[in-house]
Amino acid sequence: MSRVEGVWGEAQTANYLRAHGYTLLAHSYHCRFGEIDLIARKGNLLCIVEVKLRTNLSCGLPRDYVTAGKQEKLRKTAACYLAAHELDCPVRFDVAEVYTDTDHTDIRIEYLENAF
């Protein structure tokens, strides 16, 4: 998957989140620990969203690629974001599985709240 396709999947997820009442706070947030694809808020809940785009399932479900190591990086990066923005609020870690065909005409998002 190319970076361009990844950004496309993140944009689709951002649209999905907005349509479901979330406010987008950050896209591709980086710190020394790693990157968070999307950070959104719903009420007082901060949602850390890992986006996985797939055109087929030959290598397994997208959620399976959010390994324990990736989860730890996301936790540390989220802590960095909270500290940098002086936030003290509940945090939820979500995974957005973006399924599409090779020409991106058929799109389906499976949004997994509290994925880990």
How would you write the pLDDT of the chain (116 residues) with one tens digit per residue? Answer: 577 788 999 999 999 999 999 999 999 999 999 999 999 999 999 999 999 998 887 888 999 999 999 999 999 999 999 999 999 999 999 999 999 987 778 899 999 999 99
13 Cβ partners below 8 Å, 6+ apart? Answer: 37, 38, 49, 51, 96, 98, 109, 111
Distance from C-alpha of 9 to C-alpha of 6, rounded to nearest angstrom: 5
* Residue whose C-alpha is closest to residue 110's, from 61, 59, 41: 61
pLDDT > 70 fraction of the chain, expressed in percent and rounded: 99
- The phi, psi pair for 55, rounded to 5°, reads -105, -15
pLDDT at 103: 78
Considering the entire predicted model, what is its pTM?
0.92
Q: For domain 3-112, give the fold.
A: Trna Endonuclease; Chain: A, domain 1 (3.40.1350)
Residue spans per domain, the chain: 3-112
